[in-house]
Amino acid sequence: MPKLNLPLSSGTLETYTVVNTPLPLPEPSAVRKFNRVAYSAAHVVVNPLADDDPWIDQSIDWERTIAFRDYLWDMGLGVAEAMDTGQRGMGLNWSGAQELIRHSLEAARTRTDALIACGVGTDHLVAGHDTTVDDVIRAYEEQIEVIEKLGGRIILMASRALVAAAQSPDDYRRVYDRILRQVKEPVILHWLGEMFDPALKGYWGSEDHMSAMDVCVDIINGQADKIDGVKISLLSAEKEIVMRRRLAAGVRMYTGDDFNYAELIAGDEQGYSHALLGIFDAIAPAASAALAQLGAGNESGFHDILAPTVPLSRHIFKAPTRFYKTGVVFLAYLNGLQDHFVMLGGQQSARSLVHLSELFRLADKARVLRDPDLAVERMRRVLAVGGVV
């Protein structure tokens, strides 16, 4: 098996030998025989040869970006487009998101099996001391109009501007009541925790998650006919289960918990979560194969495949959690799904070589390195830039 030198947190190097063979790709006949709805939030592939200012500009390689979405669809996964995994509001602005959504919806229409939903937010509104709740409502309405004209389904993302403008939970009720009454199709709400985006601390009008949950559940259950489901990203299995059991009949819980997704998707005697996860971008073949096992009634097979990916995911999403996109794109590079390790905003530099080296080890243990020889070669290139030979 291939070997390479990997740095340790002690500042020394170890000779690491790849120990696992890759998971086999799921059989096409098993794809879509899932008993859970499963979306992968998807990253974007930049054009590394663009002559621009990479911390500011958005030069996207559309061919490779859409090819990655085809790869996810081939795995039987839906695409959650222009979300935080795509660096929305963290390198990808609303103008770029519109173009991304347009390209992805066009690609989806060429297939019969393409599940896709698109992120709607208020990120074109720059929040200031004079931002009002009415400004937030108008911003949501502007983005919804664009997506609905393109024929897209909506994921209603959390709003930094609303956090700045709201004076109480009633302001959240007012915004969501107004928006939900207008949408053409049921939406997925997204409660993104402050560990993913510090600017969202205090969402729903309280920094206490359980008090915030009361407001969110009240909004959802009051307009359940306008809501397909809710994705919560709080990295707490306990809070997700509590909220899941409080939802009105027919409203799905989509786990956004990249620490505990295996147990939450499997569920318990009182219910289960569907999935809308950034980690599925990085582990799509494992996610697909595991979901096929679950759909076939083999829960132990589901856990056998997915459980080894959890330590990898917890590492990728470790604090500061907002930098998890670096690990997701790094795995895409190691696996030959793009030809470079360059990101919007230069965020390939957001994690250390030690972090990336541990990611490599955990990816091997999870059997998600598609071609170990290629992965070793590409890992060596990244290490060489940092002076490791």
Sign of the CA dihedral with 338 first, then 254, 210, and 199 last = positive
Contact 80, 40 (CB under 8 A): yes
CB atoms within 10 A of CB 321: 18
What residue ranges define each of the domains in the chain, with the CATH number in brackets?
27-307 (3.20.20.70)
Which pLDDT value is given to residue 76?
95
Alpha-carbon distance 353 to 349, whole Å? 9
pTM of the full structure: 0.96
Which pLDDT value is given to residue 231?
98
Which pLDDT value is given to residue 88?
96
pLDDT tens across 181-224, in order?
999 999 999 999 999 999 999 999 999 999 999 999 999 999 99
Q: What are phi and psi of 276, to 5 degrees?
A: -145, 90
Which pLDDT value is given to residue 58?
93
Q: Which helix (H) or strand (E) holds 323?
A: none
Dump the DSSP string for 106-163: HHHTT-SS--EEEEE--TTS---TT--HHHHHHHHHHHHHHHHHHT--EEE---HHHH
Residues of the chain with pLDDT under 70: 30
Which pLDDT value is given to residue 220?
98
CA dihedral 71, 74, 76, 80 (to 10 degrees): 30
